[in-house]
Amino acid sequence: MLKRVLFTTLSCLILCACAEERQSVDSTDDELSAAVNIPEISNPVIVYSSRQEYLIKPLFDRFTEETGIEVQYQTGEEGPLIARLQAEGEATFADVLYTVDAGNLWSASDKGLLASVDSALLNQNIPEHLREPQGQWFGLSVRARTIVYAKDRVDPSELSTYAALTDPKWKGRLCLRTSKEVYNISLVATMIERLGEETTQNIVEGWVENLAAPVFSSDTLVIEAIAAGQCDVGLVNSYYLGRKQVDDENYPVALYWANQDSSGTHVNISGAGITRYAKNPEGAQRLLEWLSTEEPQRMFSELNLEIPANPTVPSAEQVAAWGDFIQDNINVEAAGRLQADAVMLMDRADYR
Ligand code: FE
């Protein structure tokens, strides 16, 4: 309750302070600082985040320590957060939208909810395939969706590509998460971009053909089904396996980097964009820029076993233990642009 009152009070303060500034949202940073006429340090940055508090709070605390800029955040599911941003329109207090999956960020951008940012630092720190070409959003951490297998029943030399999981030798041995989940929609969307609809549909049909069990509701359940012997191979985001390995270093499931001899392993992002009606766009940009630098990039990897988006920053030890891999360098915005096509394709292929 107290937090809410504080949020509302601060929100009001910001709204009042920004009434003048609002009309000059396209002005340069210097003009904005002059228009606000209060020290930048007193303006909190307000973040709508679909990431959980334990992942974002340590980062925001560190940012505040370093810059003196306070960060306030509201967490929730990505769909409702994006809908809220849309409903609030110009009146929103959110400066930053931070969520997972390029498909979600693309959708916010497609609805006109984000502003383009031209930041030399972000453009330098974040590789081109992990950010929106107009600067509407930037990948901050990378999550790879790749093959996992039962150590005692699969020799990694039998594995190669996502497409090769359609081979009849995997019949009754493959487990997949539901096609309704955005991670799989994004995987299939980028496959459409890379391989075309026809080839992609053949691959998805081949997977369905080889399923050992009805689709699962989570990546963790896929991994547990492999560990339990229900299937031998699956497709998951690597950090879910990482969590299992933290609990048990001899966990019976291992990771394989798919497509290393061809297009590279499919990657997606957690990422953020500055909202179109941000009241503190300069603070928001400072936060995004800071998040792309070394210490926070390392924290992403340590806190959630993800891969730093900034390629100059090494992964956490446990992530590095999976070995270096080549990322598919298709721009992750394809995950959003081809989302509807991917959903229809998976439906035609009877992938439930
Ligand atoms: Fe996840």
DSSP secondary structure letter of residue 279: S
Structure-block tokens of residue 113: 């909810």
177 CA distance to ligand 1 middle (Å): 12
| Residues 218-257 as b or e (16 or more Cβ within 10 Å = b) | ebbbbbbbbbeebbbbbbbbbbbbbebbeeeeebbbbbbb
Q: How far is the CA of 174 from the centre of ligand 1 (A)?
A: 20
Pair type for strands 96-100 and 45-49: parallel
Distance 238 CA to ligand 1 centre (A): 9
Q: Bridge partners of 96?
A: 47, 274
Taking the C-alpha atoms of residue 116 and residue 180, their distance in angstroms, rounded to an integer, is: 30
Residue 342's closest CA among 271, 266, 269, 273? 266
pLDDT higher at 146 or 27: 146
| Ligand 1 center–CA 268 separation, angstroms | 11
Q: Confidence band (pLDDT; 50, 70, 90) for 177?
A: very high
CA of 256 to the centre of ligand 1 (A): 18
**pLDDT tens across 20-35, in order?**
222 233 333 333 333 3
* Domain 45-142+268-320 and domain 143-266+334-348 have a common topology: yes
Buried b (16+ CB within 10 A) or exposed e, 308-317: bbbeebebbe
- Predicted confidence at residue 118, as pLDDT, reads 97
The span from the CA of 37 to the CA of 227, in Å, is 60
Question: Any idea where the domains of the chain sit in the sequence?
Answer: 45-142+268-320, 143-266+334-348
pLDDT tens sequence across 187-211:
999 999 999 999 999 999 999 999 9
**Beta strand segments in 275-330, E:** 307-308
Measure 237 CA to ligand 1 centroid, in angstroms: 7
Distance 56 CA to ligand 1 centre (A): 14
* Cβ(48)–Cβ(98) below 8 Å: yes
Dmax (CA) for the chain in angstroms is 68
To the nearest 10°, the Cα dihedral for 106, 108, 114, 116? 10
pLDDT of residue 36: 41
Return the pLDDT at 304.
94
How far away, in angstroms, is 195 Cα from ligand 1 center?
Answer: 25
CA of residue 184 to ligand 1 center, whole Å: 11
Cα dihedral 200/175/324/296 (nearest 10):
100
What spacing in Å lies between the alpha carbon of 80 and ligand 1's midpoint?
A: 17
**Distance (Å) from CA 239 to ligand 1 centroid:** 8
At the topology level, CATH places domain 45-142+268-320 in: D-Maltodextrin-Binding Protein; domain 2 (3.40.190)
**Reported confidence tier of residue 72, pLDDT bands at 50, 70, 90:** very high
Tell me the whole-structure pTM to 2 decimals.
Answer: 0.86
Q: Ligand 1 centroid vs 341 CA: distance in angstroms?
A: 22
CB atoms inside a 10 Å sphere around CB 89: 11
Alpha carbon of 12 to ligand 1 centroid (Å)? 34
Chain centroid offset of residue 119 CA: 20
For ligand 1, the distance from its centroid to the CA atom of residue 137, given in whole angstroms, is 19
Helices (H) and strands (E) in the chain, counts: 15, 9
Say which residues have a Cβ less than 8 Å from residue 87's Cβ, sequence separation at least 6: none
Q: What CA–CA distance (Å, rounded) separates 24 from 31?
A: 8
CATH of 143-266+334-348, one of 3.40.190.10, 3.40.50.1000, 3.40.50.12780, 3.40.50.1700: 3.40.190.10
**69, 94 contact by CB (below 8 A):** no
Q: Is the pLDDT higher at 4 or at 82?
A: 82
Q: Give the Å distance between the CA of 168 and the centre of ligand 1.
A: 30
Task: Map tokens 């020290």 to a residue.
Answer: 39
Distance (Å) from CA 16 to ligand 1 centroid: 38
